[in-house]
């Protein structure tokens, strides 16, 4: 049984504020990609969908004269660091298992290397799933951050994904009880 659901996260006021700022559609589609890829990489879809849903929660808007300034973003952005910390705080405050909260925060911290000095990251499977899911939903020019969705549609999609994760856990429990 999961301590908290995606819907609990969705309803948190800080998630509403910050995830809407970085793109609710992008967050939800990245979470769906993460569900699919978690099967392939053998990671828990509960952690993968939560990390994917929250991965951009640390975004700040780098605007100059009403337009996104990509150079300013490249130079100053630390959204993965901020996001990891912000997500961790929200997860813990809602009662997420501490170990899970750390795993999710780390996957958010490492979902992009755009803020790091050149080098390659050695990602674990969960971290890889989140990074690949983000890439799968990216659009040129950062357009994935601007797609919009009604609250009602967002809630329907999140509830559906919660059910998929719960079903997966149920199936796993059955598998382990017969083996
Ligand atoms: Fe993203």
Residue 18 CA, ligand 1 centroid: distance in Å: 13
Residue 149 CA, ligand 1 centroid: distance in Å: 16
**Pairwise CA distance, residues 20 & 9, whole Å:** 13
Percent of the chain with pLDDT over 90: 74
Asked if 165 and 53 touch (Cβ cutoff 8 Å), the reply is no
Q: Where are the domains of the chain?
A: 6-178
Residue 120 has pLDDT above 80, yes or no: no
How many CB atoms are located within 10 Å of the residue 48 CB? Answer: 31
The confidence score (pLDDT) of residue 179 equals 67
Summarised one tens digit per residue, pLDDT across range 51-103 is 999 999 999 888 888 887 888 888 888 999 999 999 999 999 999 999 999 99
The confidence score (pLDDT) of residue 165 equals 98
Summarised one tens digit per residue, pLDDT across range 148-158 is 999 999 999 99
Residue 176 CA, ligand 1 centroid: distance in Å: 35
Q: Which tokens sit at 169?
A: 């856990």
* CATH number, domain 6-178: 1.10.3210
Measured in residues, the chain has a length of 179
Residue 147 CA, ligand 1 centroid: distance in Å: 12
Asked if 45 and 34 touch (Cβ cutoff 8 Å), the reply is yes
């Amino acid at each position: 049984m999961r301590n908290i659901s995606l819907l609990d996260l969705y309803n948190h006021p800080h998630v509403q504020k910050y995830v809407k700022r970085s793109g609710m559609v992008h967050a939800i589609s990245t979470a769906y990609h993460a569900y699919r890829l978690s099967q392939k990489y053998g990671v828990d879809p509960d952690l993968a969908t939560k990390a994917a849903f929250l991965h951009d929660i640390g975004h700040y808007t780098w605007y100059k004269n009403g337009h996104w300034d990509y150079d300013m973003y490249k130079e100053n952005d630390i959204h993965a660091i901020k996001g990891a910390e912000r997500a961790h705080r929200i997860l813990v405050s809602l009662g997420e298992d501490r170990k899970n909260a750390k795993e999710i925060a780390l996957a958010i911290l490492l979902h992009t290397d755009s803020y790091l000095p050149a080098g390659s990251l050695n990602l674990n499977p969960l971290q890889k799933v989140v990074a690949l899911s983000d890439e799968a939903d990216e659009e040129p020019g950062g357009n994935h951050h601007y797609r919009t969705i009604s609250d009602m549609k967002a809630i329907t999609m999140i509830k559906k994904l919660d059910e998929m994760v719960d079903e997966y856990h149920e199936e796993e429990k059955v598998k382990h009880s017969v083996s």
